[in-house]
Amino acid sequence: MSDQTDHAAESEDALPLDPLPLDAWHRAQGARMVPFAGYDMPIQYEGIVAEHHWTRTNAGLFDVSHMGQLLLSGEGLDAAVEAILPIDLSTLKLGQQRYSLLLDETGGVLDDLMVSRLEGALYLVVNGATKWDDIAHLREYLPDEITLQHMEEHALLALQGPKAAEVLARHVPGVAALTFMKFAAFTLAGHPVQIARAGYTGEDGFEISLPAEAAEEIATLLCAEAEVKPIGLGARDSLRLEAGLPLYGHDMTPETSPIEAGAAFGINKRRRTEGGFPGVDRIIREINEGTARKWVGLKIEGRLPAREGAEVFAGGAHVGTVTSGGFSPTLQQPIAMAYVASDHAAPGSALEVEVRGKRLAATVTPTPFVPHRYYRGS
């Protein structure tokens, strides 16, 4: 799940923009700000490529406070949420988090999100560009017994990279014991925080939910460490692209199903058998029978990057469309993700992508393009 991207500069100039809790701090660090998801967001500081490489080798601090943090509680909570999400909450233990999907009645993806089990509550992180629609949807379909709290007074920071754990452990004793997709409550610089070992870069790292009024103090504290620099949306997008992670609104939309998007893992085993969630008939049919198209990775020859909307061909036949693409700083070549006809989706399939009026040779490639380095334990 992510909505941080170099598409951030898409025209939102006519919309009133909200400042992030760290708005002034970003500007003081030299950030170039762009409108995205109703906020002024930092797209880069010293440069996207430099920030990308820094995160791959050290630790980068990302401000993702525009994302929605929601707290659900009340009698019958698990059953109420399972009626909306295809998640198996019986297997989600205290201190664990899991990827899930918000689906419409036809099985289209309204959002992808993270669900975490707290004592007596569920904590959801939803995409910033869709959070108001998500909140409205949840309030419409959750029963009155369920309370939805939008945690507007909280910020969200992500510390990502191979040195993230050693840096954070200097300030948060015990945090290094967390493994991927686990979380716990801690104290950081005297402030209560919730820290999950997770992120959307493919690197090891942490997401830190904290009081908004503490964001500047904590961001300054972490960036005072030699291994840490602030990183913008541009590098977050190139990192998630190399990691083969979808960007909601581009790689997944209400027009796509989770099965053709390669997100069948978001429909847990018990739910496939029992059903009881929106779009279940289509989902089960597609699991059993397959789909007409599939979301795949592409490596492209040459240096020209293929962007969203570029058309994909097999010989003279149009077989698909790029949904995310760019030049990989790590691999030093263009990479992309696209929906293509299923009979052209096998790894190794030779295709062509049209960029600036030219057909560029492309090969279907398994994702991630760059191996994930999540910490799952020693």
SS3 label, residue 215: helix
pLDDT tens for 312-369 read 999 999 999 999 999 999 999 999 999 999 999 999 999 999 999 999 999 999 999 9
What is the pLDDT at residue 15? 59
Question: 124 in a domain, yes or no?
Answer: no
Domain that holds residue 218: 6-66+152-242
Q: What is the DSSP string of 171-199?
A: TSTTGGG--TTBEEEEEETTEEEEEES--
Residue 301 pLDDT: 97
Q: Is residue 116 part of a domain?
A: no
pLDDT of 2-36, one tens digit each? 444 444 444 344 557 889 999 999 999 999 999 98
Among candidate residues 242, 274, 301, the one where a domain is terminated: 242
Residue 37's pLDDT is: 84
In which band, very low, low, confident or very high, does the pLDDT at 378 lie, cut at 50, 70 and 90? confident
Distance CA 84, CA 171 (A): 38
Asked whether residue 241 carries a pLDDT value surpassing 50, the answer given is yes
pLDDT at 14: 53
Q: What are phi and psi of 233, to 5 degrees?
A: -65, -30
What is residue 101's predicted lDDT score, i.e. its pLDDT? 98
Domain assignment of residue 215, yes or no: yes
Judge whether 232 lies within some domain.
Answer: yes
- Per-residue pLDDT of 67-111, as tens digits, reads 999 999 999 999 999 999 999 999 999 999 999 999 999 999 999
- CATH code at position 196: 3.30.1360.120
Split into its structural domains, the chain has a count of: 2
Q: Is residue 192 included in any domain, yes or no?
A: yes
pLDDT above 90 covers a percentage of the chain that reads 94
What sign does the dihedral 298-300-303-307 (CA atoms) show? negative
Q: Both 237 and 297 in a single domain? A: no
Average pLDDT over residues 60-72: 98
Q: What local confidence, expressed as pLDDT, does residue 17 receive?
A: 87
pLDDT averaged over the chain? 95
Find out whether 127 and 1 touch, Cβ atoms under 8 Å.
Answer: yes
**Residues 162 and 13 reside in one and the same domain:** yes
| Of the residues 242, 266, 301, the one at which a domain ends | 242
pTM: 0.94
Q: How confident is the model at residue 176 (pLDDT cuts 50, 70, 90)?
A: very high
pLDDT recorded at residue 202 = 98
One domain, residues 185 and 331: no
Q: What is the CATH number of the domain that holds 337?
A: 2.40.30.110
Residue 73 lies in a domain: no
Beta bridge partners of 243: none
Residues 340 and 204 in one domain: no
